[in-house]
């Protein structure tokens, strides 16, 4: 596979948007790169709608998919990030669209995270449901600059085992969709985001989706901070216990 080698961050990574703020991104086509996808997440997937559905964006995602399969993708990414003179927050969200599609690709991201220590990486993934990928995610979660979230819903249920440093994000598809177990963060599908819900049983609802907060991921940083080191970034136990508040 021939790859036109990027030399600048903007040639390989996406930039800011209204939800993420000042964050670099790397996205892939939804569904086709999501081996752990549930029926519920396929139905609710935002990356199949709106601006993601445009011809330009779809071509960009397909280009990224082809680049990600190149044997040297991880080495090129490391070189580009380490040579960048980017100012501001060094945050990189892996896969606003798409997911870790096999163990080899997941190991490429492990390599990138290991070799770009001045960046903070975070991702949400349902690929924990694939055993070979799960094993790499365990290694990834041990890194001090990587924040790994297992994405869950009513169909996936709670993982039988949760590795150290991994947190659980739950996707609510309607107001009655509350698991019997306690996740570490709630995401809400539309149109629930039009109603105000800051927490559920004392656990944080994503502030960007709680119907009242005006913020971005780069300002909030709940998902890419260690709650043990910074208690203000914790997602559980920061509210008085309530069903919905």
Write the pLDDT tens digit of every residue in 151-195: 999 999 999 999 999 999 999 999 999 999 999 999 998 888 889
Give the max Cα distance, the chain. 56
Cα 105 to the chain's mean position, in Å? 16
Backbone phi, psi, residue 157, to 5°: 70, -175
Cα 203 to the chain's mean position, in Å? 19
pLDDT in tens, 9-24: 989 999 877 889 989 9
Mean pLDDT of 28-32: 95
With 0-12 CB in 10 A as exposed, 13-18 as middle and 19+ as buried, what is 139? middle
Query: Tell me, what's the pLDDT at 242?
Result: 45
Does pLDDT of 243 surpass 50? no
End-to-end CA distance of the chain: give it in Å, rounded.
Answer: 52
Mean pLDDT, the chain, rounded, equals 91
Query: Tell me, what's the pLDDT at 240?
Result: 61
Q: What pLDDT band is residue 80 in, cutting at 50, 70 and 90?
A: very high
Instruction: Flag whether the pTM goes above 0.85.
Output: yes
Query: Tell me, what's the pLDDT at 221?
Result: 95
Q: What pLDDT band is residue 89 in, cutting at 50, 70 and 90?
A: confident
């Amino acid at each position: 596979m021939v790859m036109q080698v990027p030399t600048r961050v903007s040639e390989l990574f996406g930039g800011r948007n209204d939800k993420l703020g000042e964050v670099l991104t790397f996205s892939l086509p939804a569904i086709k790169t999501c081996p752990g996808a549930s029926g519920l997440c396929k139905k609710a997937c935002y990356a199949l709608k709106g601006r993601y559905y445009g011809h330009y964006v779809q071509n960009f995602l397909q280009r990224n998919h082809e680049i990600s399969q190149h044997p040297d993708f991880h080495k090129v990414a490391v070189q580009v990030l380490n040579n960048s003179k980017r100012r501001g927050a060094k945050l990189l969200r892996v896969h606003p669209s798409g997911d870790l599609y096999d163990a080899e690709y997941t190991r490429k991201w492990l390599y990138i995270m290991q070799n770009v220590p001045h960046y903070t990486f975070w991702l949400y993934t349902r690929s924990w449901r694939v055993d070979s990928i799960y094993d790499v995610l365990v290694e990834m979660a041990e890194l001090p600059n990587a924040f790994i979230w297992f994405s869950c819903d009513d169909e996936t249920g709670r993982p039988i085992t949760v590795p150290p440093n991994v947190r659980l994000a739950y996707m609510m598809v309607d107001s009655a969709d509350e698991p019997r177990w306690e996740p570490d963060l709630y995401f809400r599908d539309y149109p629930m985001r039009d109603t105000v819900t800051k927490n559920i049983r004392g656990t944080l609802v994503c502030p960007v989706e709680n119907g009242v907060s005006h913020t971005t991921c780069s300002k909030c940083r709940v998902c890419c901070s260690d709650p043990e080191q910074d208690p203000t970034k914790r997602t559980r136990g920061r509210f008085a216990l309530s069903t919905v508040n």
